[in-house]
Structure 1
Amino acid sequence: MAGNTLGSLFRITTWGESHGDAVGVVIDGAPAGIPFTEGHVQAWLDRRKPGGAKTSTSRKEPDMARILSGTFKGKTTGTPISIMVENRDARSSSYADIMDRYRPGHGDITYDKKYGTRDYRGGGRSSARETVGRVAAAALAHQLLKAEGISICAATVELGGVRAEKREYASMTENPYLCPDAEAAQAMDARVDEVRRQGDSLGGVVEIIADGVPAGLGEPVFEKLDAALAGALMGIGAVKGVEIGAGFDAARMTGSENNDPITPDGFSSNNAGGTLAGISSGAPLVMRVAVKPIPSITKAQATINTKGEAVTIETRGRHDVAAIPRVNVVCEAMVALVLADHLLRQKAVTWNR
């Protein structure tokens, strides 16, 4: 199976399945001397692990990270870093009665078409459980970016049709949805309760902002920074759309409205979202992702079985009502991984400056 590796100089390969023994990641290309311990990894994994949010599955995984290689005395050595997280609370028996039925909205049918086989236990490799490795690797990327003064924040700006009108980022951790609008968070809470009772699920929108990104990151043609960010964010299973800056609203503007005036103090607006010609401008990077509803629902749905016969399916087991807010840290992770890679590329380009 190809397509498990991301990055050029800062390169990661994730491995493992939802109901296998473990999941994890191998990181290659990290510079030596970066402070990095299991504690650094754990702080990020604790934000994505199941059971911590109202929208989350009841699956209780401790998600304890083990660094198997690549560090010595709490710092990176410049050699490949391997991180493993054991699966402790998988219940594969929950999928026994639907093993021959394709779940709508999942990769069951496409994996079968591509490989002629699939792991029906929670989705196997296509499960959101795979993102454990991404978040673990991003813990190191965040360390690298922090040293350069770069920070990343992901906020829930829409959930189940409820939109945040305010952007009070400092207070968003005071509600379970990481929403920067306290009133909207209350409405989101009521919406989650309503949909949970119906046996259904919800989608939403996450906004990601990267501050402190220096000008000059990104390549001019096929390796544009915004293209790399969009590709990485679209690589999250639940994401169905990505906007940079004004995004689709730019299509409704005139040139004079969309262009960001340049002043001696910088840009006076940021419709470009922090990139011009695929290269970072020095303004904050602003991205939004559309997150689809969780496809595993208890409502009866029409599908087919592996023989091609029409059947119905009701997904049992333990599932999220929404990928939000657990997906937020995954969004931050993907942005961090791309920025770490492009930061190292730029340092190589400007080596003799």
Structure 2
Amino acid sequence: MNKSSFGNHFTVTTWGESHGKALGAVVDGCPAGLSLNEEDIQKFLDRRKPGQSRYTTARKEGDLVEILSGVFEGKTTGTPISLIVRNTDQRSRDYGNIAYTYRPGHADFTFDAKYGFRDYRGGGRSSGRETIGRVAAGAIAAKILETLEISFYTYTKSIGPVKIESFDAEEISKNAFYMPDAKAAEAAGAYLEECMKNQDSAGGIIECRIKNVPAGLGNPVFEKLDAVLAEAVMSIGAVKAVEIGDGIQVSAMKGSEDNDGFHMENGQITKNSNHAGGIMGGMSDGSEIILRAAIKPTPSISQPQNTVTDSGEETSLEIHGRHDPVIVPRAVVVVESMCALAIVDALFSNMTSQMDRIQEFYQK
């Protein structure tokens, strides 16, 4: 299998399966001298681990990270950073009934079509548990961005038909859904209770806002910053659509409504509005980057579903085991992590975009 890596200058390779011995990531390209310890990474992993509420899978995993290389005496060494999280609560027997049957909404059929073989235990490499490596690596990227005062607000904007109506940053970490609106979180809980009662699941939207990104990141043709961010976020298994700024709404707007004018403020060029979501012509414009990811409903549901076996026999399947009725809350930190990885890689690439910056570095 190829393409398990992301990034050009700050590169992340994830590895492992849902029911294997462990999962993890290798981060290459991290500069030497960054203060880093396992607690920095664990804080991110704790945001996505299972069993935190009745609306997440009951699988009990501590998701404890170990740094195997690339850090010495609390500082990165500039060499590859190897990270591992061991699986401790596998129940492969829960998947015995799907060994030869394709689950609707999963990668079972397409994985078989590509490789002629698949690990049916929880989806193997296609499991949402693969995102552990992304989140561990994203924590390192976020630590780099923190030194540059680049920060994130990432939260659940909606679950099913329930949308936030207000924004309180402190509320995000106070409810099970990472919603910045307490009333919306309460309504989302009621909606999910109904879904669970009917052995069904829900989707939603995650919004990521990135502050203090300098202007000029990205490229004007290929590897535009919005394209790279979209690739990063769309690579998350449950994501089916990505919007930047006003997103799909621009198709119904006039140019006079969509264009962001400029003015001078404290000697700096500043936009009057931010319909573009912080990216113009494939490059960051210095304003807040706004990205939204549409998350599909959890495909593992207990209702009978029509499907076929790998031998072509039509059958009905009821999926048992431990599954999230909604993926959205645990995916919040995954979206943030992938955005952090993309921004760091773009920052490192941008360091060689002007000759005077190269001369300044080597001739000082």
Paired AA for residue 261 in structure 1: G
Could you tell me which of 297, 307, 310 is aligned with 2:311?
A: 307
Determine if the alignment matches structure 1 residue 168 to structure 2 residue 172: no
- State which drifts further: 50-59 or 121-130: 50-59
CA distance in 1, matches of 2:338, 2:26: 15
Q: Cα offset for 1:173?
A: 1.9
* Partner residue, 2:203: 203
SS of 1:53's partner is coil
* Partner residue, 1:289: 293
* Partner residue, 2:134: 134
- Give per-residue Cα distances to partners, 1:252-274, cap 9 Å, x unaligned: 11000000111112112110000
CA distance in 2, matches of 1:122, 1:241: 24
Q: Is the 8 A contact 1:38 1:66 kept in 2?
A: yes
What does 1:28-177 correspond to in 2, within 5 Å? 28-177=28-177
CA distance in 1, matches of 2:131, 2:45: 10
CA distance in 2, matches of 1:260, 1:167: 24
Q: Cα offset for 1:287?
A: 0.5
- Give per-residue Cα distances to partners, 1:304-342, cap 9 Å, x unaligned: 001111100000010000112000000000000000111
Q: Is the 8 A contact 1:55 1:324 kept in 2?
A: no
- Per the normalisation by structure 1, the TM-score is 0.98
CA distance in 2, matches of 1:53, 1:26: 30
Q: Cα offset for 1:30?
A: 0.5
* Partner residue, 1:24: 24
- State which drifts further: 179-188 or 294-303: 179-188
Q: Cα offset for 1:172?
A: 2.1
Determine if the alignment matches structure 1 residue 280 to structure 2 residue 277: no
Paired AA for residue 351 in structure 1: I
SS of 2:301's partner is coil
CA distance in 2, matches of 1:256, 1:208: 26
SS of 1:226's partner is helix
Q: Cα offset for 1:351?
A: 2.9
CA distance in 2, matches of 1:168, 1:278: 31
SS of 2:185's partner is helix
CA distance in 2, matches of 1:173, 1:78: 33
- Give per-residue Cα distances to partners, 1:263-291, cap 9 Å, x unaligned: 11211211000001000000000000110
CA distance in 1, matches of 2:107, 2:281: 35
Q: Is the 8 A contact 1:207 1:287 kept in 2?
A: yes
Paired AA for residue 302 in structure 2: T
CA distance in 1, matches of 2:133, 2:261: 41
CA distance in 2, matches of 1:128, 1:328: 13
Q: Cα offset for 1:352?
A: 3.0
CA distance in 1, matches of 2:218, 2:33: 25
What does 1:176-215 correspond to in 2, within 5 Å? 176-215=176-215
* Partner residue, 1:330: 334
CA distance in 1, matches of 2:15, 2:90: 17
- Give per-residue Cα distances to partners, 1:124-149, cap 9 Å, x unaligned: 00000000000000111011100111
Q: Cα offset for 1:184?
A: 1.1
- State which drifts further: 177-186 or 68-77: 177-186
Structure 2 unaligned spans of 5+: none
Number of aligned pairs?
Answer: 353
* Partner residue, 2:359: 352
SS of 1:26's partner is strand
SS of 2:12's partner is strand
* Partner residue, 2:218: 218
- Give per-residue Cα distances to partners, 1:99-140, cap 9 Å, x unaligned: 110000000000000000000000000000000000000111
Q: Cα offset for 1:169?
A: 2.3
- Give per-residue Cα distances to partners, 1:160-201, cap 9 Å, x unaligned: 211112122232222211112221111101011111111110
* Partner residue, 2:230: 230
SS of 1:207's partner is strand
CA distance in 1, matches of 2:222, 2:26: 26
Determine if the alignment matches structure 1 residue 318 to structure 2 residue 336: no
Q: Give the root-mean-square deviation of aligned CA atoms.
A: 0.9
* Partner residue, 1:267: 271
Q: Cα offset for 1:347?
A: 1.9
Q: Cα offset for 1:2?
A: 1.1
Q: What percentage of aligned pairs have identical amino acids?
A: 49
Shift >4 Å, 4+ stretches? none
SS of 1:112's partner is helix
Paired AA for residue 126 in structure 2: S
Paired AA for residue 358 in structure 2: W
SS of 2:299's partner is coil
CA distance in 1, matches of 2:15, 2:199: 32
SS of 1:348's partner is coil
Paired AA for residue 252 in structure 1: A
